[in-house]
Amino acid sequence: MPKIIMSATSATDLFVGLDVHKQTIDIATADDGRSAEVRHYGKITGDLAALDKVIRQLHSTGRTLPSRL
């Protein structure tokens, strides 16, 4: 799985988009702001363990992951 490298001093939000399929989940990320570039983060299997691992990796960058449903 590709890794996102971000500055530890960055305090902005990181938005995460999930495209959920039966067997896989495609993940995209975007920085805070309307003009932010959307980047493909990777594809994982559709199980909870894989999703938990990705969320932990994204959270470890020091960025805020706001929850919006």
Residue 53 maps to a domain: yes
Residue 34 maps to a domain: yes
How is the beta sheet containing 14-20 ordered, strand by strand? 14-20, 24-31, 38-45
Residue 40 maps to a domain: yes
> Into how many domains does the chain fold?
1
Residue 38 maps to a domain: yes
pLDDT of 9 reads: 42
Residue 41 maps to a domain: yes
Residue 2 maps to a domain: no
**Residue count of the chain:** 69
pLDDT of 62 reads: 84
Query: Across-strand partners of 24?
Result: 45
- Could you tell me the residue range of the domain that residue 44 belongs to? 14-59
Mean pLDDT per segment of 10 residues, for the chain of length 69 residues?
Answer: 47 85 94 85 95 92 77
pLDDT of 56 reads: 92
